[in-house]
Amino acid sequence: MSMDLVSASPAFVLGIPLLFAFLTPLANRVSKDLRDAMFVIGLLLTALFVGIMAYEVYTSGSWIYVFGSEESRPTQTASYFRIMFAADGFSALASITMVITALGAGLYSFAYMEGNTGMEKFYTLFFLTLAGVMGMVLTADLFNLFVWFEVTSIASCGLVAFQNYKVKSVEAALKYMFISVLGGLFFLVSIGLLYGEYGVLNFFLLADALTGGMIDKVALSIIIVVFAMKASSVPMHMWAPDVYAESPGSVTPFIAITSLGSLFVLTRIIFTLFRYSFGVAAVGHLLIILGLLSMFVGISMALKQSDVKRLIAYLSVSQIGYMLMAIGVAFATLDSADYSSFGAMALEGGLFHMINDGVYKALLFLSAASVVYATGIGDLNKLGGLAHKMPYTTMFFLLGGLSIAGVPPLSGFSSKLLIYQSVYLYHPILAIIALVVSIITFALIGKIFYSAFLGPDQGLTRGEVPRSMLVAMGILTVVVILFSLFPNYVVAEIVVPAVEGLGVVA
């Protein structure tokens, strides 16, 4: 394969979804079959170039792709004012997470969204959302991060409200749009503060220029609030349950992955930009507190839910807490010998949990959507006996549920174990809280499984969901199984390069 093609793979990861966002409406004018084929081709080509980029990173090392430059790495300061993408272990891990979920959600959409008019618009919004979140995790400057933040927000709001004949979907989309617009405005303010102070927005130049003054602290505080809000961290999580519960079933995991993308971005910014500018302990402690709040509030609110999608939405909020806590411990120990002892392990656990969570949470949401699709019921009090007619969906849900609960030997256990071990060495109470939340999560998964799938057949459905929906869930299931069988390989070959991509090595 041409080295020029390999070097330009980050641009293709972004460019292909943008191209197919406009090709699918044109294909729709020819035939619906061509439109659907173009959608699949676009997803597969995006996955192909994510794989090419990741393989090159893992085998030959990271590089910077500079748009409009003939060189793979900038040699002059002027080059830093061009659009740049960072192809490193961290962006590879984030891109792999996004594209796996996009494949699952996209294939699931064929049958799930059948009967809805304007599917060419749905595919366009889907590709724009994918392009936006890919741009967020690949970009190497703050202004382009803002651009892709806005693209992601607008397109994903359109997806949430796509079934606009449902009042609750439109209401959820308006809530999501409000927090997205508010977050974008505050993020733009932080960008203005940093640009006014230093005259640069490129990550690498800005990291060298930061002095740790009041401007830096204000800007960092705004950035943490904005991206923690988009990641559905407590106390800024209020939008997430409504959006996850009221979105079309095939959209829900994709919206969840945009939240995870925001957490990837937050991790990149604090480790790349701010670790040298002032004391890291305070920022680390803030992230730990946000993580604990997210775990506690998320799991507490989940206990009260009877709607299956809303219950899983609150479990999603609690899972964000694990990642924030692990990243916080890693950042808090960055300037001490404790980082080598357990801080690096916390960061590895947090990043491993991100890719795990992206996959098994998508599987859980799609399984829940299958239940609602097959029965028309989301209330657990009115469900039961579905395992008789929906054996595959039952198996998919059980696998995803046991993974999110951290039951060994599944992948969720492997990443949580790294988090338990590392945060225990930082402070035992953190590990105890994390373990208690996992136990309650297991009980809640048991509640859903018992209420929806066990018991005598109640005649709520005639059988399984369509084959394309089963295939989509099957793809995610295979990934969960692979991560469960080979966790050491995933950590060594995917997670550790991501840690190195952040520029922190034990």
pLDDT tens, position by position, 456-491: 888 888 889 999 999 999 999 999 999 999 999 999
Alpha-carbon distance of 146 to 468, in angstroms, equals 35
Helix ranges (H only) for 61-166 are 89-112, 119-138, 142-160
Tokens of 304: 């009260």
**Among residues 114, 159, 119, 111, which one has the least CA distance to residue 35?**
119
Residue with tokens 């729709």: 28
The pLDDT of residue 69 is 64
Is residue 506 pLDDT above 70, yes or no? no
The pLDDT of residue 503 is 77
Residue 67: pLDDT band (50, 70, 90) is confident
pLDDT tens across 182-208, in order? 999 999 999 999 999 988 888 888 888
Is residue 1 pLDDT above 70, yes or no? no
Alpha-carbon distance of 435 to 433, in angstroms, equals 5
Whether cis (ω within 30° of 0) applies to the bond prior to 409 is: yes
Tokens of 368: 């829940």
Write 311-314 long-range contacts (CB < 8 A, 24+). Answer: 311/380, 311/444, 311/448, 312/244, 312/361, 312/364, 312/365, 312/368, 312/448, 313/240, 313/241, 313/244, 313/245, 314/241
Alpha-carbon distance of 123 to 152, in angstroms, equals 14
Residue with tokens 């991790």: 267
pLDDT tens across 215-239, in order? 988 998 899 999 999 999 988 888 9
Alpha-carbon distance of 89 to 499, in angstroms, equals 7
The whole-chain average pLDDT of the chain stands at 90
The pLDDT of residue 75 is 47
**Among residues 42, 18, 147, which one has the least CA distance to residue 99?**
42
Quick check: 405 and 442 in contact, CB under 8 A?
A: yes
